[in-house]
Amino acid sequence: MSGLEFDIIRRYFDVPGLRAEPFIHSVNLGIGDDCALLEVKPGEELAISTDTLVAGVHFPDDSRSFDIAQRALAANLSDLAAMGARPLGFTLSISLPNADEDWLRGFSRGLSVCAQHFMIPLIGGDTTRGPTSITITVLGAVHKGLAMRRDQAELGDLIYVTGTLGDAALALDLIQGRQHTDDSHYFLQRFYKPEPPLEFAQALVGLAKTAIDISDGLVADLGHIAHASGLAAELFVDNLPLSPQALQLMEREALLRKALTGGDDYELCFTLAQEKAIEVEHLSQELGVKCTQVGRMVFGDPGVSCRRRLGTLFQLESEGYEHFQ
């Protein structure tokens, strides 16, 4: 490691806002050694997920580094939420063309704000020179055998989503100039500061059978549950939760399409047996997380169909966002 890398780590990553508090976290050794050491409780499984964000592909080139950091960490935490895992710590592999101090300061601050909000410490990583790319690996713990996988949905299960859908896709339209509004604040927050429902997801463990986070669009992501579980999923398009802000900006029908196929919302989609519905409603009120029943698992070829209130089919041109398609 060069002196410059060491300096970057010391100034921007091995900092109080990102460090583990030994009494709160299960981190026995953090940044500074060859490996970090985490304490894992008996009866738990380790949940691990990693994601790479590349400048120009996953975020606009001119995004503020503060926003990029928040979004990168929150998007990764969304995967922990999707399994119902409790966050333990994360690592950061970062590649940058140069050591721009302003950029690094903003990045470190954005990362700290998000890490403290979700109470997850930075425990290690790697720092290299190259095109801007950020890889975060999150580690979490979940009760053994109870993680919300994709392959456990059963016939008749109800399908739910948290929050509202389509806001982040609308944000991207604003950022890229396809839509205009005088007040873009709400949408930019939804895009750059996703709020994966981590606490709610942990409470769903043992209640919901399957869960997935909505990163590529509801139809595409629910499709993964359908295929893994060998069932068809039927969506009631008219039930989809839309934000009042989005409804002000866009006509309802067009917005429904965004809600079905737009990515980046980082809300949760989960399935559960009908008799658990009342428990989920309680949980939703208790934790203040909006939950909407949007469909049902039915018999049929694995895949997702969308229906209107009177049962007619709702046709989609494309299912969701795929990289390098």
Asked if 127 is part of the footprint of ligand ADP (rule: CB under 6 A), the reply reads yes
DSSP 33-76: BSS-EE---TTEEEEEEEEEEEBTTTB-TT--HHHHHHHHHHHH
CB of 106 to ligand ADP, least distance (A): 15
Give the one entry of ligand ADP, Mg ion, none that residue 59 binds, where binding means its C-beta sits below a cut-off of 5 to 8 angstroms depending on kind.
none
Nearest residue to Mg ion, scored by beta-carbon proximity: 126
Angle at 290 between CA 121 and CA 319, to 5 degrees: 85
Q: Radius of gyration over alpha carbons of the chain, in Å?
A: 20
Asked if 129 is part of the footprint of Mg ion (rule: CB under 5 A), the reply reads no
Asked if 217 is part of the footprint of ligand ADP (rule: CB under 6 A), the reply reads no
- Sites for Mg ion among residues 215-244 (CB under 5 A): none
Pair of tokens at residue 292: 């909407």
Closest-CA residue to 48 (of 117, 135, 114):
135
Give the one entry of Mg ion, ligand ADP, none that residue 127 binds, where binding means its C-beta sits below a cut-off of 5 to 8 angstroms depending on kind.
ligand ADP
Q: How far apart are the first and last CA of the chain?
A: 37
Asked if 126 is part of the footprint of ligand ADP (rule: CB under 6 A), the reply reads yes
Residue 22 vs 32, nearer CB to ligand ADP:
32
> Which residues in 170-207 are b (16+ Cβ under 10 Å) and which e?
bbbbbbeeeeeeeebebbebbbbbbbbbbebbbbbbeb
Asked if 128 is part of the footprint of Mg ion (rule: CB under 5 A), the reply reads no
Asked if 284 is part of the footprint of ligand ADP (rule: CB under 6 A), the reply reads no
Binding mask 85-114 for ligand ADP (x = CB under 6 A): -------x-x--------------------
CB of 5 to ligand ADP, least distance (A): 7
Closest-CA residue to 163 (of 237, 216, 219, 241):
241
CA 28 to chain centre: 27
Q: Which residue spans within 156-214 are E strands per DSSP? A: 158-162, 210-214
Q: Which residue spans within the chain are E strands per DSSP? A: 27-29, 37-38, 44-54, 86-96, 122-129, 133-143, 158-162, 210-214, 232-236, 267-272, 291-298, 303-307
Give the one entry of Mg ion, ligand ADP, none that residue 39 binds, where binding means its C-beta sits below a cut-off of 5 to 8 angstroms depending on kind.
none
Give the one entry of Mg ion, ligand ADP, none that residue 57 binds, where binding means its C-beta sits below a cut-off of 5 to 8 angstroms depending on kind.
none
Contacting residue, 125, 166, 194, 295, with ligand ADP by CB under 6 A: 125
**CB under 6 A: which stretch of 124-132, 203-211, 261-269, 299-307 binds ligand ADP?**
124-132
- Sites for ligand ADP among residues 30-49 (CB under 6 A): 31-34
Residue 124 vs 196, nearer CB to Mg ion:
124
**CB under 5 A: which stretch of 118-126, 167-175, 181-189, 216-224 binds Mg ion?**
118-126
**Inter-residue contact 225 to 272 (CB < 8 Å):** no
Give the one entry of Mg ion, ligand ADP, none that residue 322 binds, where binding means its C-beta sits below a cut-off of 5 to 8 angstroms depending on kind.
none
Q: What is the contact surface with Mg ion in residues (CB under 5 A)?
A: 126
Q: What is the contact surface with ligand ADP in residues (CB under 6 A)?
A: 1, 9, 13, 31-34, 92, 94, 122, 124-127
